[in-house]
Amino acid sequence: MKCQQCDNPAVFHITELESGSVRELHLCEDHARTYLNQNEDAGGGSEGGGAPKKGVGQSAGGPLGVGQTADDLAALDQRVCEMCGITFFEFRNQGRLGCPHDYIQFEKELEPLIANIHGATEHTGRRPSRAVPAGADPAVGTDGLTEVIGLRRGMKEAIASEDYEKASENRDAIRGIEDRWVPPLPSGQSPTP
């Protein structure tokens, strides 16, 4: 679906409730930002709709804003996770991250936010007993497996652009990674197709 204001793909789907009637907006990221900011400036937007869902990401505006210009923040908002494709802007609006890799991709940005929430930036609790497979970097935990999220996205794009060679390369890469990381089902049961 295209953005209602330009030719870019619509990634924000907004439903506005205005005095009983429903208005649907489909916008690209840039136009969504303009639209949402405009609503925020107007004091939370029209009744019930315009203001984005308040999430934990919004409190990031505080610690993140310190010493940063509006341009810095705008550039930060544009940053994209190479695995799941979420932008920092989307996270700030929804308060939910897109995939486990975001903790690595946005580590610098998340650090002050996490310190603010927990008063700590280092896990000291339990750890999975299973070691990472040979060849994987233990310093990034299970990120080697999370890579398949990006590969799956790439496969979909390759199929859409009819690049079947690339699609099958990605499919094989996903299988290879999952075979190394995902333990077999207990008692030798085979998974349903």
Partner 1 sequence: MRLDTLTQSIGEWLRGTGPESDIVMSSRVRLARNLAQYPFVNRATEQDRADTERILRERIVAAPMGIALDYIDVGHLEEVDRRFLVERQLISREHADAQGARGVAIDCMEQVSLMINEEDHLRIQCLHSGLDLHGAWEQIKTVDDQIEKVVPYAFHPRWGYLTACPTNVGTGIRVSVMLHLPALVITRQIDKVFRSLHKISLAVRGLYGEGSQAMGDFYQISNQTTLGRTEEELVQQVADVVPVIIDYERRAREFLVRETQQNVHDQVSRAYGILRTAQTITNEETMQLLSRVRMGVLLGLIGDVKIADINSLLIRTQPAHLQKLRGSDGDSSDDIERARYLRQHFEGGDSQVKTSAN
Range in contact with partner 1 (rule: CB under 8 A) among 8-16, 37-45, 70-78, 132-140: 132-140
The verdict on 120 binding partner 1 (CB under 8 A) reads: yes
Q: How far apart are CA 61 and CA 56, in angstroms?
A: 10
Q: Looking at 28, 136, 148, 158, which residue binds partner 1 (CB under 8 A)?
A: 148
Q: Looking at 21, 66, 70, 123, which residue binds partner 1 (CB under 8 A)?
A: 123
Residue 45's region, left for phi above 0, alpha for psi from -120 to 50, else beta, is left
Least distance CB 95 / partner 1 (angstroms)? 7
Q: Looking at 73, 80, 114, 159, which residue binds partner 1 (CB under 8 A)?
A: 114
Beta strands 12-18 and 21-27: pairing type? antiparallel
Q: How far apart are CA 112 and CA 119, in angstroms?
A: 10
Largest CA distance in the chain: 60
Residue at token pair 């794009």:
157
Range in contact with partner 1 (rule: CB under 8 A) among 10-18, 34-42, 72-80, 121-129: 121-129
Least distance CB 87 / partner 1 (angstroms)? 11
Q: How far apart are CA 53 and CA 39, in angstroms?
A: 13
Q: How far apart are CA 115 and CA 101, in angstroms?
A: 19
Q: What is the binding site for partner 1 (CB under 8 A)?
A: 55-56, 83-84, 86, 94-100, 103-104, 110, 113-114, 117-130, 138-143, 145-146, 148-149, 177-178, 181-187, 189, 191-192
